[in-house]
Amino acid sequence: MSTLSNKRIILGVTGGIAAYKSAEVVRRLQDQGAEVRVVMTPAASEFIRPLTMQALSGHPVHSDLLDSEAEAGMGHIELARWADLLLIAPASADFIANMVHGKADSLLGAIHLATPAKVAVAPAMNQAMWSHPASLANIDTLEQRGVTMIGPDEGIQACGDIGPGRMEQPDSIVSKVSSLFQNGLLAGKKVVITAGPTREALDPVRYISNHSSGKMGFALAAAAVEAGAEVCLISGPVAIVPPERCEVISIVSAQDMLDASLATAADADIFIAAAAVADYRASTIADQKIKKQGDSMTISLEKNPDIVSAVALANPNLFVLGFAAETQDVETYAREKLERKKLSAIIANDVSRTDVGFNADDNEVSWIDRSSSVVFSKRSKTQLARDIIEHLAKGHFH
């Protein structure tokens, strides 16, 4: 499996002779399975043509902060939300200083401030500039804020000086980027995740179901794998490819999901109920296709088993994370569900919104437990999944 499979990476290129290496960084990232969008500062365009980066990445290069065409398509806020990682390579001394001060006078600066994604920087500058106390203080500040520094390398520089300050080689940069998604926060833990919808048969050809795509549950499974966990993904019928390196159990009905959940969660550490389970099923399933008769039809329904409650009851030591998909009074209903079902925590989201939730690529949710409430603002489901897993791991298993 490619180490950056399905990862979305913004490559930010700033002004400096090392910008010529950025073209190779794009190729190496793509070789590892990443989708790359390039953002260049005006100074970067003096060293390498945007057309080169466009041809390599397969996407238009973004450069202007106030670009009406870009804002009508993927504007800087959408671009910032799209990314799983913002990689700035090369990062000049000037741009690093701008990052420290939160300047948004360039498109790349605005994306840095707006993105919820990981941020990594590969500095490139003269050895004297790198060694200056101001530069060292700026680097220290960014690292304290969680920015990952990649390099710099040492050696002969374009100006003829010898010392630290050269941008690391593309292979080394991509290797270190890959390691950012393997955090080990849940190493040694077993995580069971339910995902997607269930289907409750009415007859051999019809069923009751819902609009769940499974994207959130599958993203959580991928994030848990990245965190080093042993992952079992129990999924209803979906049209997406499951992440590798996890056990996948395909089910159809709520009863199927309950049986699989109880069996796999018996020796698990964490159970995440991200599936959208049908609340009711047909009291009887017709053996043959139900024929159309008259202008109306009455179907008798009975309540499905409550999977997350059953799992929580069966294993009191299990950390159980539930989901509350609501259309109104989201937090109120979520807190009631948290208490009633004896959950450790719950993720609440408003599925009445068309820009997040069911079938959307983005989501915006709240993490609610008995002592706290944390809002995760709108971002890609892949990034949100990593943030949820990190929050869970650091708060309860790290």
- Tell me the catalytic residues: 159
β-sheet bridge partners, residue 164: 154
Residues 239 and 383: their CA atoms lie apart, in Å, by: 20
Tokens representing residue 380 in the block: 């890609």
Tokens representing residue 162 in the block: 């010898």
Alpha-carbon distances of 296 from 281, 290, 292, 293, 299, rounded to whole Å: 19, 13, 9, 8, 10
Query: Angle CA(30)–CA(35)–CA(36) in degrees, nearest 5?
Result: 85
Cβ proximity of 243 and 221 under 8 Å: yes
Buried b (16+ CB within 10 A) or exposed e, 43-67: bbbebbebeebeebbeeebbbebee
Count Cα neighbours of 132 within 13 Å in the Cβ-side half-sphere.
Answer: 11
Strand pairing report for 270-273 and 301-303: unpaired
**DSSP notation for 26-83:** HHHHHHTT-EEEEEE-TTGGGTS-HHHHHHHHSSPPB--SS-HHHHHSS-HHHHHHH-
CA 107 vs. chain centroid, Å, equals 22
Query: Angle CA(20)–CA(179)–CA(133) in degrees, nearest 5?
Result: 60
Q: Both ends of the chain: CA-CA distance in Å?
A: 27
**DSSP notation for 121-150:** EEE---HHHHHSHHHHHHHHHHHHTTPEE-
Give kind and range of the element (H or E) at residue 380.
Answer: strand 373-380
Count Cα neighbours of 30 within 13 Å in the Cβ-side half-sphere.
Answer: 15
Residue of 302, 321, 105 whose CA lies nearest to 195:
321
- The CA dihedral of 98, 102, 103, 106, to the nearest 10 degrees, is 90
Residue 365, Cβ neighbours under 10 Å: how many? 28
